[in-house]
């Protein structure tokens, strides 16, 4: 079992890869199905070159896009922001808006599409030594699908089908992640930011929804008592104003980019 000591925002967090994640990797290394472009997402290319995948995670409006935009200017880093425009428009339909209007009916529709688009992002060709992604296929399942199901807004059969899909994908396709950067916020901060940015679909989101998402993130990335961790976690406190956040990103630059030397 390998351990990592990660320090962020003045606090020290002892992080370790959990044994379950180790199992997950073992299963992945026995991949039976490898679409031609899957190899492009691998950690080691041409036998020598080390590539790193960093996922930026956190509640809705925690500042993930801001973080990615900050690192976009760094050489050797390719940033992939979330395909939210696709979730708002698939062949003229808006599954994100539909899900917020009627989660019982449309939750599976949105989450099936989120899973597909996230998989597409993970498997796209690596064009730089370091890749930074907004979220991951893992949080789509462990946070959002889980939240819909546990809150009684997703029928059990929909949850079962989505889980079968997710298990098949993670068992048969290698999805390497080297570091998770967790932008840790209070649900109240996210609620304030949501109200300010006023994304049409999200006007209906109550504070309780953000509290549930927050709890699932804490269970997954801090308490580690729910779903397997695909990588070590670096926690960055993210309740601060934009100026202070940029400062925090700069202070953590080395630790984040060090994912490529591990």
**Which positions make up the binding site for ATP?**
58-66, 193-197
For Mg ion, which residue of 16, 65, 74, 163 counts as binding (CB under 5 A)?
65
Smaller CB distance to Mg ion: residue 58 or 95?
A: 58
Q: CA 162 to CA 143: how far, in whole Å? A: 13
Smaller CB distance to ligand TTP: residue 114 or 169?
A: 114
Smaller CB distance to ligand TTP: residue 238 or 257?
A: 238
Smaller CB distance to ligand TTP: residue 205 or 231?
A: 205
Residue 144 interacting with ligand TTP (CB under 6 A): yes
| 135, interface contact from ligand TTP, Mg ion, none, CB < 5-8 Å by kind | ligand TTP
Q: Supply the minimum distance, in Å, between the C-beta of residue 208 and ligand TTP.
A: 15
Residue 94 interacting with Mg ion (CB under 5 A): no
**x/- map, 55-94, ligand TTP, by CB under 6 A:** ---x-xxxxxx----------------x-x----------
Q: Supply the minimum distance, in Å, between the C-beta of residue 60 and ligand TTP.
A: 4
Residue 220 interacting with ligand TTP (CB under 6 A): no
Q: Which span sits near Mg ion by CB under 5 A: 18-26, 60-68, 201-209, 221-229?
A: 60-68
Q: Please enumerate in sequence order all residues whose Cβ is within 8 A of that of 41, keeping only pairs 6 or more positions apart, or say none.
A: 53, 122, 123, 124, 126, 174, 175, 176
Residue 57 designated active-site: no
3-state secondary structure of 31: coil
Q: Supply the minimum distance, in Å, between the C-beta of residue 202 and ligand TTP.
A: 5
* # residues contacting ligand TTP (CB under 6 A): 18
Long-range pairs of 211-215 with CB within 8 A, sequence gap ≥ 24: 211/187, 212/147, 212/150, 212/151, 213/59, 213/60, 213/143, 213/144, 213/147, 213/187, 214/59, 214/185, 214/186, 214/187, 214/190
Beta strands in the chain (DSSP E): 3-8, 11-16, 44-45, 49-50, 52-58, 77-80, 130-134, 179-184, 233-237
Q: Supply the minimum distance, in Å, between the C-beta of residue 169 and ligand TTP.
A: 14
CA angle 110, 114, 116 (to 5 degrees): 120
Helix axes 64-72, 242-251, angle to 10 degrees: 60
Q: Do the beta carbons of residue 202 and residue 60 sit within 8 Å?
A: yes
3-state secondary structure of 184: strand
Q: Supply the minimum distance, in Å, between the C-beta of residue 185 and ligand TTP.
A: 9
Catalytic residues: 134
């Amino acid at each position: 079992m390998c351990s990592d000591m990660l320090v962020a925002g003045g606090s020290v967090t002892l992080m370790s890869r959990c044994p379950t994640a180790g199992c997950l990797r073992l299963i992945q290394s026995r991949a039976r199905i490898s679409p031609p472009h899957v190899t492009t997402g691998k950690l080691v290319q041409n036998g020598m070159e080390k590539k790193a995948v960093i996922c930026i995670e956190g509640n809705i409006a925690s500042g993930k896009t801001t973080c990615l935009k900050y690192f976009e200017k760094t050489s050797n880093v390719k940033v992939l922001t979330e395909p939210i425009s696709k979730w708002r428009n698939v062949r003229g339909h808006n599954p994100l808006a539909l899900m917020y209007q009627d989660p019982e009916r449309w939750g599976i529709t949105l989450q099936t599409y989120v899973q597909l688009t996230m998989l597409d992002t993970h498997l796209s060709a690596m064009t730089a030594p370091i890749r930074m992604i907004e979220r991951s296929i893992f949080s789509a399942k462990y946070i959002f699908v889980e939240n819909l199901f546990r809150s009684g807004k997703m029928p059990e059969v929909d949850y079962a089908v989505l889980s079968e899909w997710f298990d098949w994908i993670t068992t048969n396709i290698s999805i390497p992640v080297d570091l998770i950067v967790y932008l840790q916020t209070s649900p109240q901060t996210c609620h304030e930011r949501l109200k300010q940015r006023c994304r049409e679909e999200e006007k209906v989101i109550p504070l309780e929804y953000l509290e549930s998402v927050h709890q699932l993130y804490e269970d997954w990335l801090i308490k580690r008592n729910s779903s397997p961790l695909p990588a070590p976690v670096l926690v960055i406190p993210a309740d601060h104003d934009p100026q202070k956040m940029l400062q925090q990103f700069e202070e953590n630059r080395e630790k984040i980019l060090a994912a490529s030397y591990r």
